[in-house]
Amino acid sequence: MKTMDQRLQPLIESARQWARETSAAGWLTTADRTPLESIEDGTPGSLFDSSEHRPLVVAFFGGTGVGKSTLLNRLAGQEIARTGAERPTSREVSVYVHESVRISQLPAHFPVDRVRVAHHQNEKSRQILWIDMPDIDSTEQSNRQWVLEWLPHIDVVIYVVSPERYRDDKGWRLLKSHGHEHAWLFVMNQWDRGQPEQVDDFRRQLAAAGFADPIILRTDSREEISARRPDDFDKLQSIVQSLADEHTVRQLEKRGIEIRLRTLEEAVRQCLNRLGDDEDAGRLEKQWERIWQEARAKLLQGLEWPIQVVARAFVTRDANPLRKSVDLDKQAVQPPTARDAEAVLWDDWAQTRFEDALDQFIVEAGANTLPIAPLKSGLDKVRSEARALLLAEAQQALRRALANPGNVWQRFFLKLTSFLAILLPLAAIGWVCYQVVTAYYDSALRHTEYLGVNFAVHSILLIAIAWLLPYFIHRKLKPSAERVAIKGLKNGIVSGLDLLGGRVADAIQRAQLARQAHLEAGRRLLEQFIVPPDARPRALDTGLLSRMLSKSGRR
């Protein structure tokens, strides 16, 4: 099973990759994923060989002129860190470590030219690595970045102040956001110039920052041993030595990693919350259906007159607005001229009404705390295709209507009357011819009178009625071309509007599926943040150590 420090870096990278992909799809902003990007994946344990018990990493932090370097030199009993005029830029990191620990074990991205290493042979301090960090209130911007890069690799922070500058919170603000990840000791150095009231005031300041009972030690920074006032330097050494045993070091690191995992988990949860509520997302399609039903009714009502104009123009062959609006060969939208404006089916008014419906939907989706960028991206494509899509549907419906006018029964009777208009006159003519032949034959045999004028008149009337009656019925049943064109265009408009509404619904559904995929990926990440019971740190908030831990870091 992987240890906590081995799990941390892959988890952070996985979370960042998920946030970047989700952000690229428009569901998160750069600001949303900033907390994830700012989580450090380095640990104190990553500085050393994990197969061996590593030393406790203790760092001195503080502002300019508080005597950090002097304190480290006093601790080492020799000139380890540069002081005063020797470090005018305060850009170096001084490391004081047992000779068994080599600088090559530190991360490769740390610039070696800014690290001064001093080795010692003191077995009592074998398990402690002391670091003197650059002045965190320096105007040198790289100093702050350098401090923040080192901070995740530190177990114990010794925050050094002076009686004159203990209320200066420039450096404190820089470290405060990471305070719960470390154990803290506070040193008021240059105590030879301090007063007890200042210590009490400093304690109240720390209590407001989350340290209920902070350990504040007073040290004298004067070089001359005989001139030093009684201070807590020996106590400082003793406390740090007590923390350097293997159990405490490992528990401190586990605690820091677990806190970072919880921070990572919270950052992922915040990103998941930015993807919106499932209940709100489930209402999107219903919201669009409501909005579209209202917009569709208004569009159908407003397009009644343009449909009639287009149908009349098409039938009279004065113009073909559809042809002027849509290229029949290329199906490319052509902007109508001012002369054609009245005869265009999907004009600027109709496009504006459709876009208003889309905008209203986007506003309501945003009001539900849902990210609207992915939705807007999908809907913009439908928005741009609306005119060409509706005109193409109208043209196809018009062609179908002209090819098959009327309904099924009308078409049946039209065919029937058309057939009868041929059959009945032929039958009448046949009957007349038969009568003429038979009458002539009888007249020849019997020498009777042949057919007269009455027969001729009646025959003509019979033939005329046999033709005129079905022809008249056929003409009456046949719908006018204008009515057929109007009906066809109406059907095309209705079909086009239904298709537009369906395209928007499809875009919403695709966005929902994409959102759900990112949600599920984020939720799978959260399952990996569960810390195994055997990897959790034991209780550290007892005795002296509890005073070194910020309340905000306790779990």
Q: pLDDT tens, 84-102?
A: 544 444 567 778 888 877 6
Q: Is the pLDDT of residue 554 over 50?
A: no
The answer, as to whether pTM is greater than 0.95, is no
pLDDT of the residue at 89? 45
96 and 8: one domain?
yes
Q: Is the pLDDT of residue 492 over 80?
A: yes
Give the 3-state secondary structure of residue 212.
coil
- Residue 72 near residue 106 (C-beta atoms within 8 A): no
pLDDT of the residue at 340? 47
Name the domain boundary from 477, 492, 507: 477
pLDDT of the residue at 325? 43
Query: Across residues 504-509, what is the average pLDDT?
Result: 92
134 and 227: one domain?
yes
- Residue 389 near residue 522 (C-beta atoms within 8 A): no
Is the Cα torsion angle 98, 104, 110, 113 positive or negative in sign?
positive
Is the Cα torsion angle 40, 181, 220, 120 positive or negative in sign?
negative
Q: Tell me the C-alpha to C-alpha distance, in Å, between residue 251 and each of 44, 178, 201, 239, 272.
A: 12, 18, 32, 16, 31
* Distance, CA of 516 to chain centre: 11
Q: Is the pLDDT of residue 249 over 80?
A: yes
Q: Is the pLDDT of residue 438 over 60?
A: yes
Region of poorest pLDDT, from 214-218, 387-391, 394-398, 455-459: 455-459
pLDDT of the residue at 88? 41
Percent pLDDT > 70 in the chain is 75
Query: Across residues 487-502, what is the average pLDDT?
Result: 90
Q: What is the pLDDT of residues 15-26, one digit of tens each?
A: 999 999 999 998
Q: Is the pLDDT of residue 66 over 80?
A: yes
pLDDT of the residue at 296? 94
- Residue 383 near residue 344 (C-beta atoms within 8 A): no
* Between 222 and 524, the higher pLDDT residue: 524
Residue 477 tokens, joined: 């049943």
pLDDT of the residue at 505? 92
Half-sphere exposure of 513 (CA within 13 A, CB side): 7
Residue 93 tokens, joined: 């990191």
- 45 Ramachandran zone, left/alpha/beta (phi>0; psi -120 to 50): alpha
pLDDT of the residue at 333? 40
pLDDT band at 419 (very low <50, low <70, confident <90, very high): confident
What letter represents residue 338's amino acid?
A
Q: Is the pLDDT of residue 293 over 90?
A: yes
Tally of domains in the chain: 3
- Residue 45 near residue 227 (C-beta atoms within 8 A): no
- Residue 172 near residue 209 (C-beta atoms within 8 A): yes
505 and 385: one domain?
yes
In this structure, the number of other CB atoms found within 10 A of the CB of residue 18 comes to 20
Q: Is the pLDDT of residue 533 over 70?
A: no
Q: What is the pLDDT of residues 327-378, one digit of tens each?
A: 433 444 444 443 343 446 788 889 999 999 999 999 888 887 788 888 888 8
> How many degrees, rounded to 5, is the angle at CA 545 between CA 541 and CA 547?
85
Region of poorest pLDDT, from 204-213, 290-299, 486-495: 204-213
Q: What is the pLDDT of residues 401-416, one digit of tens each?
A: 777 665 666 667 667 7
Query: Across residues 186-204, what is the average pLDDT?
Result: 89
Query: Residue ranges of the alpha helices (H) in 48-92?
Result: 68-76
* Between 123 and 295, the higher pLDDT residue: 295
Kindly report each contact of residues 356-365 with a partner whose C-beta sits within 8 Å and lies 24 or more positions away, as own/partner.
356/295, 357/291, 357/292, 357/294, 357/295, 358/382, 358/383, 358/504, 360/291, 361/287, 361/288, 361/291, 361/504, 364/287, 364/291, 365/284, 365/287
Q: Tell me the C-alpha to C-alpha distance, in Å, between residue 552 and each of 179, 181, 342.
A: 8, 9, 70
Order of strands across the sheet that contains 216-218: 115-120, 93-98, 128-132, 56-62, 156-161, 183-188, 216-218
As a whole number of angstroms, the distance between CA 84 and CA 73 comes to: 12
Residue 103 tokens, joined: 């600088």
As a whole number of angstroms, the distance between CA 302 and CA 493 comes to: 12
* Between 146 and 510, the higher pLDDT residue: 510
CA-derived radius of gyration, the chain: 46
CATH number at residue 254: 3.40.50.300
As a whole number of angstroms, the distance between CA 334 and CA 324 comes to: 7
134 and 73: one domain?
yes
DSSP state string for 481-507: HHHHHHHHHHHHHHHHHHHHHHHHHHH
pLDDT of the residue at 405? 66
Q: Is the pLDDT of residue 323 over 60?
A: no
174 and 250: one domain?
yes
149 and 45: one domain?
yes
Q: What is the pLDDT of residues 139-168, one digit of tens each?
A: 666 667 777 777 888 889 899 988 888 887
Query: Across residues 421-446, what is the average pLDDT?
Result: 79
397 and 413: one domain?
no
Percent pLDDT > 90 in the chain is 15
429 and 494: one domain?
no
Average pLDDT along the chain? 78
DSSP state string for 253-320: HHHHHHHHHHHHHHHHHHHHHHT--HHHHHTHHHHHHHHHHHHHHHHHHHTHHHHHHHHHHHHHTS--
Query: Which helix (H) or strand (E) is 130 found in, with range?
Result: strand 128-132
Q: What is the pLDDT of residues 104-137, one digit of tens each?
A: 555 555 655 667 778 888 777 788 888 888 877 6
334 and 467: one domain?
no
Longest dimension (CA), the chain: 174
Phi first, then psi: what are they for 69, rounded to 5°? -65, -40
Which residues lie across from 97 on neighbouring strands?
119
126 and 70: one domain?
yes
304 and 360: one domain?
yes
259 and 153: one domain?
yes
Q: Is the pLDDT of residue 319 over 50?
A: no
pLDDT of the residue at 126? 82
Q: Which residue range(s) make up the domain with 67?
A: 4-30+32-275+534-553
